[in-house]
Structure 1
Amino acid sequence: MGKAKKSTKKFNQRHLKDELERRKEHKKTQKLVQKREVKKKRRANGSTEDEGEAFTGVEEIDDLAGFAESKPKGALAKLDLSKFTEADPTAAGDDVSDDEDIAALLEGDEDEDDDDMPSDSDPEDEGSDAEVGGEDEDEDDEEAVFKRELEAVSKKDPKFLEFMKKNDPSSLAILEDDDEGSEDEEGDEEEAEEEQDEDAAMSDAEEPQSSDATVVTSKMLEDWEKDITENQSLKSLKRLLLAFYSASHMESENESAPQTPYRIEGMRIFNKTVTASIRAVPKAFNYYAPIVNDKVAQKSGKKWGIAQVLIKSYLVSLLELLKQMSDPAMIQYLIKESERMIPYFVCFTRYTREFVKELLRLFGSASVDDGVRILALLSLRRLVSLSPPEVADIALKGIYLTYVRNSNVKTIANLTTIQLMRNCGVELYGNDANASYQHGFVYIRQLAIHLRNSMQLRSKESFRAIYNWQFINSLNFWTEVLATYCGDRAEEQPQFCATLESLVYPLTQIILGVARLVPTAKYFPLRIHCISQLLRLSSATGIYIPILPMIIEVLESPEFLSRRPINSTLKPLSLDSQLKAPKEYEHTRVYLEIVLESVFGLLADAIAAQSVRIAFPEWVVPAVLQLRRWRKRAGKSWSRFSKQLQGLLEKIDQSSLMVVQQRNKVDFGPANLTGANQFMSDISIDATPIGAYASSLRKVKAQQRATMVEAEMEK
């Protein structure tokens, strides 16, 4: 064999490992695509079970199946849903928690050009071209690429060629290649002067690399920062950026990262380098590329030609620091500083994607505190508001999948974190109504298809695909989104209500189907979760949902009417962190008493939600009759709850009397729907007898839950 070329050696040292990994991932992706194509062909030939027998046992399934095959209608029919097809479970029958990896989802095509600028040729972009573009081996030849670049620059500035011949070209890889990729085609004379100034500054900053690299000292940092602040010195700015890059890559696992002429030794110098860079560099950027109204004022001209290369260097270092830090206080500090740079991130599509990916990683990390999650959300929300629509799509999809993957409830202490993540996701979905509808339609439809398949197969595996925390918390997420923007904030953002309201019905059908999928006493906790979701949706939106029949079905279970409960000394169970009763709790009195407490609380909330309606006295009659019948049949076995039910019935009678008294004062007939809808609109639900009773039960339950969380945290 002949001697290997210099370019081959460089490629093996810097990119071979990454290239092999990329090819492995590419093969995996090809296999997955092939499997999906086979499944599609089988479905087209009618060989799958999707065309099986009709559902039986649940009336709502016909509507659910129709929604699973539906597309947006009306004005929203023109929205482009093609970008979300990868989320369609018909293409891959995996569970929601097994969707495509978020990191792969957010990578995108890193070889596309940034806005208002020519394509860059910095070392990282070369690596991304190798990953995404699949270029020929000739273009991977670094020696040939470098020669072409050198010839192009030498035509404009021969002095620069002489300088490069005397120095090691790899020592300026981070700034040097970016300079070439950021040249503007304005005036030859201005560009020549600009490049001469930059080369002079860089030649002064340049030092021999590797073992001969200059050790950064406190005096050097102070001088650079002072020179940047007082004189806007380009030379000092580049030196500080090189030192900052070196500091940020001290513990980097990227072996192909270019070397810099400066070396950081010790944590004291590391901290000083980072703080000096964060203090001085953004101010210098504001001189070369000022920010006006959260946007870079001018992305062209001499100053921008100088600034964009330096900005990209700073963003790379900042992102690398975010990846490496583990201390929550330091992470919060870096997120705040990164948020200041969002207008600059938006100028470079690739780094915007990387920033979104990093914020989502921090948002879903189990090792960070709630403060980091909130700051990550705030930065992500601002980034989405300033970025193009494709970035918003990535962020919305990423935050939902991040939430789902981290929504598995293991203890009651997890509920607080999951609730916070859900609230954060709901906030992010309040930026764009059309984008929120597209994501909501795709993922709610995905849940409907999972439920339809489970009801067709009716096996343990299919039930397990529905009865898990990821699926239930997905329902919780979309319930909260629709309850917020179609209810709580409907008056503030009417366009959201008008756009998202069409999703309320299919989501309600899915929740009803999940609650009745396995109607046994073992899954009473899951049914209670579903009833809570429907109650939240109905109360917020004002849309009537028949919740009382589902509650009374639980009360009329044989567990309470005919079967004798087993006495047990087990400790009380929290239904908030359970989807089914543990085996040792089944049929025990302690378990059934907890179920009755939850059912009576939901019963009071469901009746209270209708207590200011003009038809409340007549509406509540069937429920009152059934509750009195249950009290007569099961009251002796459940004496404590019989007394509680008696108190509930008294509050219902008092509320009915209150509505009748108010109704006697009205001066309109039943045909006046506007007057009927506005009936008792000035009276709060908590002001009614049943509303006050339900509120007191909620407060007691909240106190019990807080006590259990504290006890769990102390363990």
Structure 2
Amino acid sequence: MTKEAMASLAEKDPEFYKFLKENDPEALEFDENAEFSEIDELSGSEAEGEEPKKKKQKKDPKAAAADEDNGSELTQKMIAKWKAQIEETKSLRAARQVVIAFRCAAHLNEDDDEKPQRYTINNPDAFNDILVLALKHIPEVLQHHVPVKESAAGKTYVNTDTKKFKILSQLVKNYAASIIHLLGTLSDEPTLKLTISALEPLLPYLLSFRKLLKVLIRTVVAFWSQSASTEATRITAFLVARRLMVISDKGVRETVLKAVYQGLVQGCRLTNVNTVAGINIMKNSAAELWGLDQALGYTTAFGFIRQLAIHLRNSIVNNKNNAFRNVYNWQYVHSLDFWSCVLAEHCSPLKEAEAGKESQLKLLIYPLVQVTLGAMRLIPTALYFPLRFQLVRSLLRLSRATDTYIPLASILLEVLNSAEMKKPPKSSTLKPLDFATAYKAPKSYLRTRVYQDGLGEQVIELFSEYFVLWSRNIAFPEFSLPVVVALKRWLKDSRKKSSGNKNGKIGAQLALLVQKIEANAKFIEDKRNRVEFAPNNRSQVEAFLRDFEWEKTPLGAFVVGQRKLRAEKRKMMEEARKEDERKRKEEEEEERLGKQEDEEDDSEEEDHDDLAEDDDEEEEEEEGSDEEEEESDDE
């Protein structure tokens, strides 16, 4: 009997319970792990080469306890015995004991009076051994007895109709639940990685247990999206989620996609120089999942992009009480950037050529671009120019990958023609603003030379990246002419004596960019003067200079050089930042040690004062005793 059944019998029929206790006490013996009872039966019958019996025979409790090594403390000798049995015969009985011990290890140091643990673990080596044995060998036992199969269509599945699977299902659920619980207690990086990776071979067996599967998905996504997780942990957790996307049905896939997107949004709430690399890993890895099932990927992506559009519309219509903050935050910016990563990954001509058809996600390019352009112009002030640059980079990635023309010149010209760039700046000792990790400039940066120089550099860089996308296009001269005229007008106005702003550094860089754009336009004109087809021949127009490397165009060579210079500059800034961080930690450590020494000195002084007080008290007591002796002598 189980413990619950025995307690229920004592309440409902106390007389019969008393009769059993007096005449047949063995009938009241209960097994705290009754869910595993059929495994012993199956394991024993396999060892004897017989069919498993329908009903388990009554067994002497003492013999059962001795047979199961039901000791109070888990030892390495017991673990070694189970390991040998599993390696030699894939014994289910040994696997049962390992899972029970593994569950005890996962719930170590947790007191539960209702369900006392079978084993106590006092030896750290035994704890480590049972973890390694369970994580590495239990999947092998499951694969041996209930193998994972692959259908003709490439789908992975497990035959859940067999009696073995029904008997092992409880073991699988307990094993998976123990792993999930253990993950919440681990901090050691190698053990954490091993534990997460142990979930991957277990996934085909868990497809039938939807409630447990949802908990597993949330747990894995949490490790993938945590800023505290290392790169190796993130990748290991992502591989588990990706494997589940491949082998599962539509319902589970949708759950995975929604959980991953939610984890991404929560994980990018805090964006700084230390977390931006991890956020980029999340965006690049998650983008792959939306291409595994493009029909489902389109449905979920459309819903999330529509949600972003609703936030933008509400901020425009109800522009009160800082409603724009629902759009101007890191989560919204990273969401737009993530969807540009998804579409750039799966809507490129190369991917479509490999698939042999147009991507279903391509229909989302237009709504995403419209939402992004609307978010840029929601608050068109200099305070949020960094956010504008972040979103321009997202659209440049999308345009480059999908060969889609997106008008961005006017967005950048608005920055040049703003009051921030026209009015004379004031001197400042502020450090240059890191535009890669900022969507809003601090107010102290406004109207300063350092901020104006940073804006100018960003505009010039983005203009060059924008024009180089079309540096081989047959219409480049006409395409670039309006922007060149606007840039020359800005340069002319900035050189006037009446102009308050005479920033020679920005002017020189912008003049060089204009020169390269004009040289590229002349290069295209020379090339197209030699063609023999008319403008209405669309196939020939699109094939113009297609095989010509963009790096060899005048503008392309300029952009390649600028990218190298910026990469070197970023490297130097990163090294300087790490050096400052190291010095800061050393100063904090020195300060901490200094405080500790001061506290020790104070405690020594207090001890010294206490000793001095004790000495004074002793002297006073001695003097008092001497006086008392003298008085007694006089008497």
User: Normalised by the size of structure 2, how large is the TM-score?
Assistant: 0.80
Residue of structure 1 in register with 2:85 after alignment:
227
Q: Encode CA deviations 1:499-557: one digit per residue, 9 max, x unaligned.
A: 11111111111111111111112221111112222222222211111111111111111
Residue of structure 2 in register with 1:283 after alignment:
140
Residue of structure 2 in register with 1:466 after alignment:
327
Look up the SS of the partner of 1:490 in the other structure. Answer: helix
Residue 194 of structure 1: how far off its partner (Å)? 5.2
Tell me: higher relative CO, structure 1 or 2? Use CA pairs within 8 A at least 6 residues apart. 1
Match of 2:130 among 273, 277, 285: 273
Residue 278 of structure 1: how far off its partner (Å)? 3.0
- Unmatched runs of 5 consecutive residues or more in structure 2: 13-23, 43-49, 497-501, 582-635
Q: Encode CA deviations 1:228-250: one digit per residue, 9 max, x unaligned.
A: 32233333232222222211221
Match of 1:593 among 428, 440, 453: 453
1:233 is aligned with what amino acid? S
1:661 is aligned with what amino acid? D
Match of 2:393 among 516, 524, 532: 532
Distance 1:660 1:195, change over 3 A: farther
Residue of structure 1 in register with 2:420 after alignment:
559
1:414 is aligned with what amino acid? T
In the alignment, is the contact (CA less than 8 A) between 1:202 and 1:235 conserved in 2? no
Distance 1:644 1:373, change over 3 A: same
Bigger radius of gyration among the two: 2
Q: Encode CA deviations 1:249-300: one digit per residue, 9 max, x unaligned.
A: 21458x4883343322221111111222234322322221122337455333
Look up the SS of the partner of 1:660 in the other structure. Answer: helix
C-alpha distance in structure 1 between counterparts of 2:532 and 2:25, whole Å: 94
Residue of structure 2 in register with 1:244 after alignment:
102
Residue of structure 2 in register with 1:491 after alignment:
352
Residue of structure 1 in register with 2:469 after alignment:
609
Residue of structure 2 in register with 1:310 after alignment:
171
C-alpha distance in structure 1 between counterparts of 2:353 and 2:171, whole Å: 42
In the alignment, is the contact (CA less than 8 A) between 2:75 and 2:123 conserved in 1? no
Residue 449 of structure 1: how far off its partner (Å)? 0.8
Residue of structure 2 in register with 1:503 after alignment:
364
Q: Does 1:333 align with 2:194?
A: yes
Residue of structure 2 in register with 1:14 after alignment:
none
Q: Encode CA deviations 1:662-706: one digit per residue, 9 max, x unaligned.
A: 212322111111111111111222221112212322333333334
2:94 is aligned with what amino acid? S
In the alignment, is the contact (CA less than 8 A) between 2:383 and 2:441 conserved in 1? yes
Distance 1:517 1:702, change over 3 A: same
Distance 1:270 1:688, change over 3 A: same
C-alpha distance in structure 1 between counterparts of 2:282 and 2:403, whole Å: 26
In the alignment, is the contact (CA less than 8 A) between 2:288 and 2:345 conserved in 1? no
Distance 1:445 1:359, change over 3 A: same
In the alignment, is the contact (CA less than 8 A) between 1:290 and 1:296 conserved in 2? no
Q: Does 1:708 align with 2:565?
A: no
C-alpha distance in structure 1 between counterparts of 2:224 and 2:179, whole Å: 17
In the alignment, is the contact (CA less than 8 A) between 2:158 and 2:205 conserved in 1? no
Structural mapping, 1:629-644, within 5 Å: 629-635=489-495, 637-644=502-509
Distance 1:206 1:347, change over 3 A: farther
Q: Encode CA deviations 1:157-206: one digit per residue, 9 max, x unaligned.
A: xxxxx99734234x1155359999x9xxxxxxx98705538x86998654
Match of 1:165 among 1, 18, 27: 27
Look up the SS of the partner of 2:105 in the other structure. Answer: helix
Distance 1:465 1:578, change over 3 A: same
Q: Does 1:650 align with 2:515?
A: yes
Residue 346 of structure 1: how far off its partner (Å)? 2.6
C-alpha distance in structure 1 between counterparts of 2:554 and 2:433, whole Å: 30
1:467 is aligned with what amino acid? Y
In the alignment, is the contact (CA less than 8 A) between 2:432 and 2:451 conserved in 1? yes
Residue of structure 2 in register with 1:583 after alignment:
443
C-alpha distance in structure 1 between counterparts of 2:169 and 2:40, whole Å: 9
C-alpha distance in structure 1 between counterparts of 2:26 and 2:308, whole Å: 60
C-alpha distance in structure 2 between counterparts of 1:307 and 1:429, whole Å: 34
Distance 1:217 1:696, change over 3 A: same
User: Normalised by the size of structure 1, how large is the TM-score?
Assistant: 0.71
Residue 448 of structure 1: how far off its partner (Å)? 0.7
Distance 1:594 1:201, change over 3 A: farther
Look up the SS of the partner of 1:262 in the other structure. Answer: coil
Structural mapping, 1:307-706, within 5 Å: 307-487=168-348, 490-491=351-352, 494=355, 497-561=358-422, 563-635=423-495, 637-706=502-571
C-alpha distance in structure 2 between counterparts of 1:164 and 1:634, whole Å: 100
Distance 1:696 1:258, change over 3 A: farther
Distance 1:365 1:257, change over 3 A: farther
C-alpha distance in structure 2 between counterparts of 1:265 and 1:488, whole Å: 60
Look up the SS of the partner of 1:263 in the other structure. Answer: coil
C-alpha distance in structure 2 between counterparts of 1:257 and 1:348, whole Å: 25
Residue of structure 1 in register with 2:610 after alignment:
none
Structural mapping, 1:132-211, within 5 Å: 143=8, 165-169=27-31, 171-173=32-34, 175=36, 193=53, 195-196=55-56, 206=65
Distance 1:346 1:590, change over 3 A: same
Residue of structure 1 in register with 2:20 after alignment:
none
Q: Encode CA deviations 1:627-662: one digit per residue, 9 max, x unaligned.
A: 111111114712122221222122112211221222
Residue 565 of structure 1: how far off its partner (Å)? 1.0
C-alpha distance in structure 1 between counterparts of 2:296 and 2:168, whole Å: 33
Look up the SS of the partner of 1:265 in the other structure. Answer: coil
In the alignment, is the contact (CA less than 8 A) between 1:288 and 1:307 conserved in 2? no
Residue 589 of structure 1: how far off its partner (Å)? 0.9
- Unmatched runs of 5 consecutive residues or more in structure 1: 1-6, 12-139, 148-161, 183-189
In the alignment, is the contact (CA less than 8 A) between 1:205 and 1:238 conserved in 2? no
C-alpha distance in structure 1 between counterparts of 2:26 and 2:463, whole Å: 80
In the alignment, is the contact (CA less than 8 A) between 2:385 and 2:440 conserved in 1? yes
Superposed CA RMSD: 3.2
In the alignment, is the contact (CA less than 8 A) between 1:466 and 1:514 conserved in 2? yes
Distance 1:498 1:364, change over 3 A: closer
1:237 is aligned with what amino acid? A
2:437 is aligned with what amino acid? S
Q: Encode CA deviations 1:128-168: one digit per residue, 9 max, x unaligned.
A: xxxxxxxxxxxx99948x99xxxxxxxxxxxxxx9973423
C-alpha distance in structure 2 between counterparts of 1:141 and 1:594, whole Å: 77
C-alpha distance in structure 1 between counterparts of 2:213 and 2:124, whole Å: 29
Q: Does 1:263 align with 2:120?
A: yes
Residue of structure 2 in register with 1:27 after alignment:
none
C-alpha distance in structure 1 between counterparts of 2:557 and 2:495, whole Å: 25
